[in-house]
Amino acid sequence: TFLMDLGEEWVADRGFDATALSSDDNGVPPTVMWSILPEVVDALRNGCPVVALESTIVAHGMPFPGNFSLASDVADLLRSKGVVPATIAIKDGVFRAGLHQDEILDLAKAGEEGRATKCSTRDLPLIGAKLSANRRGGEEGVLWGATTVAATMRLAHLANIPTFVTGGTGGVHRGGERTMDISTDLVELSRTPVVVVSAGVKSILDIRKTLEVLETYAVPTGVWRSNEFPAFFSPQSGVRSPARFDCADEVASSYLKGLDLGLQSGTLVAVPNDDPAGQSVEDSIQEALKEADERGIVGNDITPFILKTVADMTRGDSLRSNMSLVKSNAVVGADIASAISKQMN
Ligand code: PSU
Ligand code: MN
């Protein structure tokens, strides 16, 4: 009921391309502007499976044009399995669930053109408040808020989309006990009931500490058909997973049990990468971390910096592996989304 279709006219009056806007149950006019593609609205209304996708991975996680072809491949893959893709992003201050192909292309260029801001949960109110300032378009080009795993989870949940496919989630950074650099992704997993399908957390992070925090936050965490927690570029980390999932129905029923129990947490499903990067990726990560430290790169710039530096150092090997794992995650995520919508209806 948080989704209220106010009709084309209301929306056109205000100059937005929105088809649906958020509102509370009392019909109080929304302050958050939403635009949800009709395809996504229809699927949600009819109980058909939808998978949310994040936009940071497109704008800041990979270079153009590989990021665009990956986004297109993932959307095609989901559709071929009867699932509607819904990329979450903020376009000129309007929260979006679902983007047209030409918008995905623009988002894919925006990172390198400096028109995309990485947005985690803390940034959502800030960017929402700058609504009118952000609505510039025209010759200056569109301004994008590229949502991280945390922000995508939150917006997907508001849009009633329970399944979200990504590459890797954030976690506790190496040395996090000193720097306190712990991704909001973990906080959001603790309080937002969305199933996140990823390839685990990469070794720029401290995998053991990340799993400890997930346990503290009571986040159901399991590996797809394996007992070992995957390390993003590699299916192996040497760390035992707290649980495993053997089929999509199992993930769906665990998710729904959590809701029945009144738990607010998300569920993390880690899919082992079946197209790993070569051995040198680990050395590159070490080197990139050193370089980040020397150059004083901190906060939300670290993850994009490491991803880019490692891709350069491995001459695209890490990028190839990264792109491949997102597609494997999409295959699993599509089945989970279908299982959830079947069990819910
Ligand atoms: N890991 C990847 N690719 C990515 C990210 C992480 O392999 O693109 C992005 C995701 O959007 C994730 C974010 O939510 O980085 C985490 O950033 P931070 O560590 O600043 O919270
Ligand atoms: Mn951080």
Helix segments in 46-148, DSSP class H: 56-59, 66-80, 101-110, 123-129, 131-134
Single out the residue of 204, 189, 341, 343 nearest to residue 270, CA to CA. Answer: 189
**Is 202 marked active-site?**
yes
> Which ligand 1 atom minimizes the distance to the CA of 205?
19
Cα(330)–Cα(244) distance, integer angstroms: 18
Q: Is 308 a catalytic residue?
A: no
Q: Give mean pLDDT, residues 223-242.
A: 97
For 12-57, the pLDDT digits (tens) are 444 444 444 444 455 555 556 788 898 998 898 899 999 999 999 9
Residues in the 5 Å CB sphere of ion ligand 2: 181
Q: What value does the mean pLDDT of the chain take?
A: 89
Contact status, residue 232 vs residue 199, Cβ threshold 8 Å: yes
CA distance linking residue 120 with residue 239, whole number of Å: 28
Q: Sign of dihedral through CA atoms 97, 100, 105, 109? A: negative
Q: How far apart are CA 17 and CA 129, in angstroms?
A: 18
pLDDT in tens, 48-92: 999 999 999 999 999 999 999 999 999 999 999 999 999 999 998
The Cα–Cα gap between 254 and 184 comes to 23
pLDDT of residue 155 exceeding 80: yes
Q: Report how far ligand 1's centroid is from the alpha carbon of 16 (Å).
A: 30
Rounded to an integer, the average pLDDT of 219-224 is 98
User: Given 9, 54, 113, 327, which residue is catalytic?
Assistant: 54
Q: State in Å: Cα 304 to ligand 1 middle.
A: 7
Confirm whether the ipTM is greater than 0.90.
yes
User: Ligand 1 center to residue 8 CA distance, Å?
Assistant: 35
Which residues lie across from 197 on neighbouring strands? 165, 269
* Pairing label, strands 94-97, 221-224: unpaired
Spatial separation of the C-alpha atoms in residues 149 and 219, rounded to whole Å: 15
Contact present, 75 and 12 (Cβ < 8 Å): no
Which pLDDT score, from 0 to 100, does residue 136 have?
Answer: 55
